[in-house]
């Protein structure tokens, strides 16, 4: 099956029929209308309404993604209980239609990406990030409390950095494509090695708290944080902030951090690892650009990763 940025009409109809089966099973009645939402890149997404309200059903063509849906359900439930606005997940399963599916309520509002009150929204996002990062978890990485498979848990942050995140491999990719010089690579390796010695307690991290994953109303009130596929049990604030701040301007960063409530000292102490994660997170994008022989994009990455866009450090 080919499923990328655009699914065929035949595939959409195939999964719409499966969505009808799920709706009938869960609600005991058929949906009035199942509308295919084009935004889903790895899942088939349909919206529908009935007497109980408005809902979204996501179906993955990959049977293995049931684990991802279970992880999302655990994390979103924990976040809702902590006070983070979240659409309720009603059901996760796969046996009924032989494909993983998730039914959730629809959050009212629209994406906050171009919202006129984005600075206020960013401050509120920071506040909710703090709530998420207060949720204690067990194990580091993608496999944590949601899974009964204890053998897949990384017991320590060191295990995560070396065995799951694999920072050494990421540094090798960046060096191979001349994204970073040898001295900088060694410095980054030291930062990760020093972090691996820390004895820390893992907490829940959303892993992508950005405006595109926020649903807000016209007044800028956040009604939902969405897209929990990349959530992990990790070290906060380093992991969360390395992604949340990545594509923000200076004023936007400060509003987010004001909401997060981090002290100047804690931010300063965390910055080396935040920067190290931010840099090494580019490894897969660099590999993709190299495979596509996109020299222009590779040149842009070199400029960025060299720190040449930093207008403040001397």
With cut-offs at 50, 70 and 90, classify the pLDDT of residue 293: very high
Q: 39-48, 103-112, 213-222, 284-293: lowest mean pLDDT where?
A: 39-48
255 in any annotated domain? yes
Please tell me the total count of domains within the chain: 2
Residues in the chain: 314
49 against 167, higher pLDDT: 167
Q: 2-6, 151-155, 206-210, 302-306: lowest mean pLDDT where?
A: 2-6
Are 245 and 285 contained in the same domain?
A: yes
Are 21 and 165 contained in the same domain?
A: no
180 against 6, higher pLDDT: 180
CA distances from 295 to 247, 284, 289, 298 (A): 22, 15, 8, 5
Residue 194 clears pLDDT 50, i.e. is over it:
yes
Q: What is the mean pLDDT of residues 52-68?
A: 93
Residue 268 clears pLDDT 90, i.e. is over it:
yes
Are 68 and 88 contained in the same domain?
A: yes
What was the pLDDT predicted at 39? 61
Residue 75 clears pLDDT 50, i.e. is over it:
yes
- Cα four-point dihedral sign 51, 52, 54, 60: negative
How far is the C-alpha of 68 from the C-alpha of 100, rounded, in Å? 9
With cut-offs at 50, 70 and 90, classify the pLDDT of residue 222: very high
Read off the pTM. Answer: 0.92
Query: Which of 57, 39, 68 minimizes the C-alpha distance to 212?
Result: 39
What was the pLDDT predicted at 40? 57
Are 72 and 185 contained in the same domain?
A: no
CATH number at residue 264: 3.90.1200.10
Rg of the chain over Cα atoms, rounded to whole angstroms, equals: 21
How does DSSP classify residue 32? S
Query: Which of 62, 47, 72 minimizes the C-alpha distance to 4?
Result: 62
How far is the C-alpha of 97 from the C-alpha of 91, rounded, in Å? 13
94 in any annotated domain? yes
With cut-offs at 50, 70 and 90, classify the pLDDT of residue 303: very high
Domain that holds residue 72: 9-105
Q: What is the mean pLDDT of residues 162-190?
A: 97
Are 99 and 138 contained in the same domain?
A: no
How far is the C-alpha of 11 from the C-alpha of 19, rounded, in Å? 12
CA angle 92, 94, 96 (to 5 degrees): 110
- Reduced to 3 states (helix: H, G, I; strand: E, B; else coil), residue 136 is strand
313 in any annotated domain? no
Residue 270 clears pLDDT 70, i.e. is over it:
yes
pLDDT tens-digit profile of 248-264? 999 999 999 999 999 99
What was the pLDDT predicted at 200? 94
CB-CB contact of 254 with 117 (8 Å): no
DSSP 145-167: TT-S-GGG-B-SHHHIIIIII-H
How far is the C-alpha of 125 from the C-alpha of 257, rounded, in Å? 9
């Amino acid at each position: 099956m080919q499923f990328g940025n655009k699914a065929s009409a035949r595939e959409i109809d195939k999964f719409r029929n499966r969505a009808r089966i799920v709706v009938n099973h869960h609600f005991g009645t058929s949906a009035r209308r199942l509308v295919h939402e084009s935004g889903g890149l790895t899942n088939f997404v349909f919206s529908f309404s009935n007497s109980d309200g408005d809902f979204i059903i996501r179906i993955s063509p990959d049977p293995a993604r049931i684990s991802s849906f279970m992880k999302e359900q655990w994390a979103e439930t924990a976040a809702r209980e902590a006070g983070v606005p979240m659409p309720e997940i009603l059901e996760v399963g796969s046996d009924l239609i032989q494909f993983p599916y998730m039914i959730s309520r629809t959050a009212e509002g629209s994406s906050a990406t171009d919202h006129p009150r984005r600075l206020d929204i960013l401050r509120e996002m920071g506040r909710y990030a703090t709530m998420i990062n207060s949720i204690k978890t067990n194990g580091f990485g993608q496999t944590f409390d949601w899974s009964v498979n204890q053998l897949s848990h990384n017991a320590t942050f060191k295990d995560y950095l070396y065995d799951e995140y694999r920072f050494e491999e990421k540094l090798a990719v960046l060096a191979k494509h001349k994204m970073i010089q040898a001295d900088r690579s060694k410095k980054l390796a030291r930062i990760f090695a020093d972090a691996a010695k820390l004895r820390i307690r893992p907490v829940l991290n959303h892993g992508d708290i950005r405006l595109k994953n926020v649903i807000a109303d016209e007044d800028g009130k956040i009604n939902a944080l969405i897209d929990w596929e990349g959530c992990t049990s990790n070290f906060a604030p380093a992991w969360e902030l390395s992604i949340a701040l990545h594509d923000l301007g200076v004023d936007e960063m400060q509003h987010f951090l004001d909401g997060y409530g981090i002290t100047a000292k804690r931010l300063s102490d965390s910055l080396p690892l935040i920067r190290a994660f931010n840099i090494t997170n580019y490894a897969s994008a660099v590999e993709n650009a190299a495979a596509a022989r996109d020299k222009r994009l590779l040149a842009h990455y070199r400029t960025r990763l060299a720190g040449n866009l930093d207008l403040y450090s001397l």
